[in-house]
Amino acid sequence: MNSFRYLLFDLDGTLTDSREGIMNCLHYASEKLGFELPDDPDRFLGPPLGDSFAMFCGMDREHSDEAVRVFRERYSTVGLFENSIYDGVEEMLAALRNAGFYLAVATCKLECYSVRILDKFGLTGYFGVIGGADASVGRITKAQVIEDVLARAGVTDRSQVLMIGDRKNDVVGAHQAGIKCLGALWGYGSQEEFTEAGADFVTAAPLTLTDMLIGKE
């Protein structure tokens, strides 16, 4: 794995464990709008929120947009900080930056929320670019976010780029953008999900990833 220079990290389920805030905001929206959540609401962890309401709650565009709006009523003030950094993540980021890697964030979470979360946990300084979704400019899917991050980082050789994420949409988006993807098993995805999605690499812990990238494994 020594050929990589640029490392793009997903946020939820990769750098931070945001499950508590997302679940609380889903229940808030469900109670306020009167719709039922699926038996396994963890499926909301990862994909774009509007897509999840459509796929898992059977909503049309109008209703999914309203569900997203109500979800964000709580998320924008409380839910985004019901969150914690995974063990080993800050040590991983420090070691990778010190080893000369260019680090960036590529997440389907709104970019404004992503910056606030990373600021809150003192992680902002590790990243050259913090890229997220922005519907006002048509940046919604993982591939669109990745393309934006690559442009802002000045990447010219995509063979030097590795996406690191915890769900199928990270793998699919990375491959659509012509880069490889590593599945982070410490997040919300599973080995089976990564195998089915065609992840190029998989690892179980942040510090194991560090060793893989700097040549200790």
Cα-trace Rg, the chain: 17
Whether residue 166 contacts residue 146, with contact meaning beta carbons closer than 8 Å, is answered with no
Whether residue 96 contacts residue 214, with contact meaning beta carbons closer than 8 Å, is answered with yes
Whether residue 87 contacts residue 111, with contact meaning beta carbons closer than 8 Å, is answered with no
Which residues are paired to 180 by β-bridges?
Answer: 162
The CA distance from 55 to 67, in Å, is 13
Which residues are paired to 16 by β-bridges?
Answer: 12, 85
Q: What are the strands, taking DSSP E only, across 77-179?
A: 84-85, 102-110, 129-133, 161-165
What are the residue numbers of the active site?
10
Q: Residue 212 carries which DSSP code? A: H
Whether residue 14 contacts residue 165, with contact meaning beta carbons closer than 8 Å, is answered with yes
Residues 6+ apart with CB under 8 A from 10: 105, 106, 107, 163, 164, 165, 166, 167, 170, 184, 187
The CA distance from 173 to 143, in Å, is 4
